[in-house]
């Protein structure tokens, strides 16, 4: 990870990209009033309506392939995703190793999980994922007492990714070991029973449905069990706006926009955002006070 002075916070291009989003967010807010009666309430117990595959595959954040939402899907398919090796290592792993993804597929059952997906930019989808629960791979690495956090490092190959040299690469994310062992944390390999596309993070990415989408690192090449809280990409890019935990909470606004509601991609209108994105029963016990901003940005 390139060290970035705090004064720089984010490159001009990234800044413009985030600005672009804010502008479209404001436009949406103007055309779609947020008055309570017009805001659909998303109930955690309601059946989920999955977003169409074409929508999931064409509205993406994957800066290694460009800054606009359409860039990743329109980019040439240059990332070689097979063969693919995932290394599991770090002082906290007694059983370190580099594993061919084909062997991982042979070892673990691929499960299906339909989850809400909430981006920090206040838009959302519902995605039918296929993948392997993260805790299974972590358990296989035989974590020891030094495994306090898990660090994820993703592909950053300038010959295969047109924008790999953006200031945040290699994209790095992290979880506490307790978060990583939660059954909701998934290493996704597919959507709608089809392999992930390059733009959605092929061949393997994180899915953490109770957290903002930037935590879900794409195209993972290394998983490290470590003692210290990892410095993650967006935290380093802009520590005032993006933290380590990034749990969804409608009552803790982003410094530049509300997190109280979300634009549902592919649908008309907005809906209320739910605490932990609707997964409070499964994850609230992992955290401290709801008033503690540290957990919610």
> Which positions lie near ligand MTE, rule CB under 6 A?
60-64, 119, 154, 171, 200, 213-214, 216-219
CB of 60 vs ligand MTE, minimal distance in Å: 3
**CA dist., res. 118 & res. 126, Å (int):** 9
Q: Shortest distance, CB of residue 93 to ligand MTE, whole angstroms?
A: 22
Smaller CB separation from ligand MTE, 121 or 143: 121
The least distance separating ligand MTE from the CB of residue 199, rounded to whole angstroms, comes to 6
Q: How many helices (H) and strands (E) does the chain have?
A: 8, 12
Nearer to ligand MTE, 157 or 253 (CB): 157
- The least distance separating ligand MTE from the CB of residue 68, rounded to whole angstroms, comes to 12
DSSP summary character for residue 104: H
Closer of 147 and 179 to ligand MTE (Cβ): 179
Task: Pull the structure tokens for residue 50.
Answer: 């999955």
Other beta carbons within 10 Å of 31: 8
CB of 207 or CB of 275, closer to ligand MTE: 207
Where are the strands (E) in 101-216, listed by range? 111-118, 123-133, 149-154, 172-176, 186-191, 194-195, 205-207
- Residue with Cβ nearer ligand MTE (147 or 185): 185
Q: Are 205 and 190 in contact (CB under 8 A)?
A: no
Instruction: Give the CA radius of gyration of the chain.
Output: 18
**171 phi, psi to nearest 5 deg:** -60, 125
Q: How far is the CB of 146 from ligand MTE (least distance, A)?
A: 26
| Non-local CB neighbours of 36 within 8 Å, separated by 6+ positions | none
Return d(Cα 189, Cα 130) in angstroms, integer.
6
* Least distance in angstroms from the C-beta of 85 to ligand MTE: 16
Distance CA 237, CA 233 (A): 6
Q: Indicate the residue among 91 and 239 with the shorter CB distance to ligand MTE.
A: 239
DSSP 116: E
Residue showing the smallest CB distance to ligand MTE in the complex: 213
CB of 102 to ligand MTE, least distance (A): 22
Measure the CA–CA gap between 65 and 16, rounded to whole angstroms.
Answer: 16
Nearer to ligand MTE, 143 or 197 (CB): 197
- CA trace torsion 121, 126, 127, 131 (10° rounding): 90
């Amino acid at each position: 990870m390139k060290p970035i002075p705090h004064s720089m916070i984010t490159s001009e291009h990234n800044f413009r990209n985030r600005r672009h989003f804010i502008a479209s967010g404001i436009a949406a807010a103007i055309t779609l009033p947020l008055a309570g009666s017009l805001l659909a309430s998303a109930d955690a117990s309601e059946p989920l309506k999955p977003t169409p595959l074409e929508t999931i595959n064409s509205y993406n954040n994957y800066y290694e392939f460009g800054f606009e939402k359409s860039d990743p899907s329109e980019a040439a398919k240059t990332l070689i995703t097979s063969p693919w090796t995932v290394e599991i290592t770090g002082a906290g792993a007694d059983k370190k190793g580099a594993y061919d993804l084909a062997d991982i597929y042979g070892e673990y059952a691929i499960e299906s999980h339909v989850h809400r997906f909430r981006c920090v930019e206040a838009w959302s989808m519902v995605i039918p994922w296929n993948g392997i629960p993260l805790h299974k791979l972590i358990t296989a690495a035989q974590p020891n007492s030094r495994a306090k956090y898990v660090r994820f490092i993703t592909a950053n190959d300038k010959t295969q990714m047109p924008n790999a040299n953006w200031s945040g690469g290699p994209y790095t994310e992290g979880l506490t070991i307790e978060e990583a062992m939660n059954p909701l944390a998934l290493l996704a390999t597919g959507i709608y029973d089809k392999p992930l596309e390059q733009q959605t993070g092929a061949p393997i990415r994180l899915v953490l449905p109770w957290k903002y989408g930037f935590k879900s690192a794409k195209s993972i090449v290394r998983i490290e069990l470590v003692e210290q809280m990892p410095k993650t990409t967006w935290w380093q890019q802009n520590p005032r706006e993006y933290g380590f935990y990034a749990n969804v909470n409608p009552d803790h606004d982003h410094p530049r926009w509300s997190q109280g509601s979300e634009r549902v991609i592919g649908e008309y209108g907005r809906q209320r955002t739910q605490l932990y994105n609707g997964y409070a029963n499964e994850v609230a016990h992992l955290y401290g006070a709801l008033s503690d901003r540290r957990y919610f940005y």
